[in-house]
Structure 1
Amino acid sequence: MPVPRLTEVLAELDALWPPERAEQWDAVGTVCGDPDAEIDRVLFAVDPVQEIAEEAIRLGAQLVVTHHPLYLRGTTSVAASHFKGRVVHTLIKHDIALHVAHTNADTADPGVSDALAGALGLRVIGPLVPENGLGRICELDPPETLAAFATRAAERLPATAQGVRVAGDPDATVRRVAVSGGSGDSLFDAVRAAGVDAFLTADLRHHPASEAVQYSPLGLVDAAHWATEWPWCELAAAQLDEISDRRGWNLRVHVSKTVTDPWAAHHTSSSAHHTSPGAPN
């Protein structure tokens, strides 16, 4: 069976997640790698961090595909004295290429939110934002309470220190759900327009979340950013596996299970009464 070259693999990845679909501010595509290098093992991960580079070395991978960019805001140096430069040096020293599919994977069909919906066992009925394909509107069959839906998310998504936070009436019935992998509190207008019962995403900030639950009985389920995007790695790996089989390539595809969520621990707040500064005791 033939071993593909990097340029051949990247052509297939760009067909799955066209770089022109990325947001203008994004940094997608190939960070490092020899186009003529032979690729027989690929590793998918969410974050291009040192732990993933070292995992690729142990695995013998020649290509790492991550969802998050390494240099989102650009750089003038890849010196190994900086942690990002160290990743680049590590990869190049071991002849490992790095390729990024970020917002172009968010809006793909299937994409990040499809993978999230699949992990939760939801039936996708359409995009949340039809203009760019971001997010998904899904249905629960049969319906369940918000508390049960949050438990579903906690059980089916990868475990993180944050776990899952919930806002809204735990006994409210959830039939239709909006999901968006990664940071989603910029999508509340679309969520309200969709008329869903609950919204599952990550990185919800205080004010948008507070306004959302005051505005309507919308239930909110806030999971860790990494956990909502990791299912895409499995979807992407399966897509590349199918391409490899169709092309007759000798290519093995792996998904990293290394938890690169930055939060390491979670402590539940005390139930003791707290008073604000200057308030009478």
Structure 2
Amino acid sequence: MPKLSDVIAALEALWPPAWAEQWDAVGLVCGDPDAEVGRVLFAVDPVREVVDEAIATGADLLVTHHPLYLRGTTTVAATGFKGRVVHTLIRNDIALHVAHTNADRADPGVSDALAEAVGLRVTGPLVPDPADPAGRRGLGRIGELPEPMSLADFARRAAAGLPATATGLRVAGDPGRPVRTVAVCGGSGDSLFDDVRRAGVDVYLTADLRHHPASEAQQAGPPALVDAAHWATEWPWCEQAARRLDEVSERHGWALRTFVSRAVTDPWTAHAQALPLDEPTTSGAPR
């Protein structure tokens, strides 16, 4: 079996830390570089449910997209959930490695996996990385559908391709409008509206859209918007990442076993449908 240091070197070749945003916290969080690695679990969030799954799987390494300590810390005491995660991982000889915005920018990366999940043919990055002479890396992706369809049909296609969450998908735009070109950005994407508009696409699929940016974008005109759960837009990367590490393992003869967590760690757990505005509530307040 390879050492953890060997596997980390492979992960950092796939998603170099230098590609991460300056504010990000990527790389090895805990683990002994000399420890052997035979099983690797990929997940979006380093939360208790995923750590419990890593233990049950017999994983030696947990690779997550989201950092455990994004804003730094002065303690790993087990008095909080993050400290308990670290203690649990160390106690069970499980290392933790993070690939976040460096995986967002990669080719292929998080948005490529999202595009594949909803049936798009990627034509290029939404925001190209100027450091990439090939013009393949960058934030978000622009893609094409196999054939034109209505916005409503595309939303149904996206819902079928992404893992189910309590909140589902929200759509802004005429459900019957025809769409063919789509911009996608895994995770929070309302900071890229100007880039999306310049791309001239029919639809923008992302997550965490806030009221004011979404409202202003709709008032400004196309594209239509499809807003999915943050976790759901990034989960397809876990399967892509596992496949890429499998390829490295096969080349080196490591015989690693990779697993992808199916635990839904989106924080929203239920959805209540609002009443139409003309129906009274039990309190009598106008709707």
Q: TM-score, normalised by structure 2?
A: 0.94
- Choose which of 99, 102, 113 in structure 2 pairs with 1:101: 99
- Partner residue in 2 for 1:255: 260
Q: How does 1:1-281 map to 2 (within 5 A)?
A: 3-131=1-129, 133-273=138-278
Other structure's SS at 2:22 match: coil
Query: Structure 1 residue runs of 4+, over 6 Å off?
Result: none
Q: Deviations over 1:203-250 (max 9, x none)?
A: 000000001111013110000000000000000000000110111012
Residue segments in structure 2 that go unaligned for 5+ positions in a row? 131-137
Alignment check: 8 A CA contact 2:204 2:223 kept: yes
- Partner residue in 1 for 2:133: none
Aligned length: 276
Change (3 A) 1:274 1:212: farther
User: 1:280, CA displacement in angstroms?
Assistant: 9.8
Q: Please, what is the CA RMSD of the aligned residues?
A: 1.4
Residue segments in structure 1 that go unaligned for 5+ positions in a row? none
Other structure's SS at 1:243 match: helix
Residue type of the partner of 1:28?
Answer: V
Alignment check: 8 A CA contact 1:169 1:217 kept: no
Residue type of the partner of 1:214?
Answer: Q
Residue type of the partner of 1:40?
Answer: G
Q: Distance in 2 between matches of 1:79 and 1:161?
A: 33
User: 1:45, CA displacement in angstroms?
Assistant: 0.1
Q: Distance in 1 between matches of 2:13 and 2:229?
A: 29
Other structure's SS at 1:124 match: strand
User: 1:131, CA displacement in angstroms?
Assistant: 3.2
Q: Distance in 1 between matches of 2:113 and 2:15?
A: 14
Other structure's SS at 1:180 match: strand
Q: Deviations over 1:79-110 (max 9, x none)?
A: 11100000000000000000000000000000
Alignment check: 8 A CA contact 1:183 1:225 kept: yes
Alignment check: 8 A CA contact 1:26 1:72 kept: yes
Q: TM-score, normalised by structure 1?
A: 0.96
Other structure's SS at 2:181 match: strand
Q: Distance in 1 between matches of 2:124 and 2:277?
A: 45
Q: Distance in 1 between matches of 2:53 and 2:164?
A: 20
Other structure's SS at 1:138 match: strand
Q: Deviations over 1:92-130 (max 9, x none)?
A: 000000000000000000000000001111000000001
Change (3 A) 1:12 1:280: closer
